Structure 1
């Protein structure tokens, strides 16, 4: 697996149906390396600290391969990496193969798989269509949150080298499917 884009965003105020929403989901690829810190990516904006950032959600990764599915559903959007609010767009991040606790080295950085992303209304704001939230729940493409065990810089082109595999733990898709069932109740 390789990083194809590193993405950060600034605080943005959006008028959504007469209500002002402040969000950091509008992330865009950057040329310079980004610093993965213990609780967030430096210089990246997190507006909702209750649901984003923190030790177990310091970095969000999403697969570049999933973009093809979403582009078919939303062909009129200005597509670029970072659309899902991910910090790392990885060429082939497969949630069916990643287990909670798996660890990877990217250059000097060490990250650990923690959990899937749950869609929220800001994803709907980003796509200018709240249908995306339900559609996101229906697919097994949640992306992956990582804990940063060793901080440092990463950049596009860096490879993810697996250090530890935890096949005894559930996969990210399994955790996501269980959360989906709970959410539907």
Structure 2
């Protein structure tokens, strides 16, 4: 993994209605003033509209690779306006040169005086459909594997523009986010891999539980509510 320099972080300073139900959402973010305080619950000043599914210690910070923007624009020219600048996907951190194939579950990174750990990938939800005015955008993000990922904050701290994300530990080198996405959405009932996934201690507990349920019942969970909305 390269050590990208961070010039901007993004936060939702206020919630805004989104979609046909006007659900409160913090997906629309703006540049957050530096210095950035990185807390257990996320970037100081950031907000989430649905605390059941967004935010919290296991989803404290969302990182989405700017590298994917060109691919989305080529696949959907109608998305170009929304992709004109980050944070189109509601990310807190946007970088170039690092994607899901370069990042592993459990990676520990220093950022300023804070210490972050990759906790899980992003499971896209219907709010991306509303954000991009495409009813299938969440499903396309999931299918593509261009999901981005989340960090938990192991040590709270402060970061400044120009500080780099420096990897200091990699406990699970065989478990890239690309591999995890492949298991979740393609090889969905690979029992050997699911058994391993269920035991990955740095992985968010909810994702370990998901693997355990698939193993126990031999059934893939219904994604319709998440991808389309109730």
TM-score, length-scaled by structure 2 = 0.73
Distance 1:86 1:164, change over 3 A: same
Give unpaired runs (5+ residues) of structure 2.
189-219, 224-230
**Would you say the 8 A contact 1:24–1:47 is kept in 2?**
yes
Cα deviation 1:108-150 (Å, max 9, x = unaligned): 0110011100110111111122221111011121111001011
Give unpaired runs (5+ residues) of structure 1.
none
1:7 paired with 2:23, answer no
Whole-angstrom distance in 2 between the partners of 1:183 and 1:123: 20
Greater relative contact order (CA < 8 Å, ≥ 6 in sequence): 1
1:177 paired with 2:179, answer no
Whole-angstrom distance in 2 between the partners of 1:151 and 1:129: 37
Q: 1:138 is matched with which residue: 134, 143, 154? A: 143
* Residue correspondences, number: 183
User: Who is 2:197 aligned against?
Assistant: none
**Would you say the 8 A contact 2:36–2:43 is kept in 1?**
yes
Whole-angstrom distance in 2 between the partners of 1:145 and 1:62: 9
User: Who is 2:44 aligned against?
Assistant: 42
Whole-angstrom distance in 2 between the partners of 1:166 and 1:94: 18
Q: 2:86 is matched with which residue: 81, 85, 90? A: 81
**Would you say the 8 A contact 1:29–1:81 is kept in 2?**
no
SS at match of 2:90: coil
SS at match of 1:47: coil
User: Who is 1:56 aligned against?
Assistant: 58
More helix by proportion, 1 or 2?
2
More strand by proportion, 1 or 2?
1
Moved more, 149-158 or 119-128: 149-158
Flag the structure with larger Rg: 2
Q: What is the Cα-based RMSD across aligned positions, in Å?
A: 1.9
TM-score, length-scaled by structure 1 = 0.89
Shift of 1:34: 2.3
Distance 1:34 1:85, change over 3 A: same
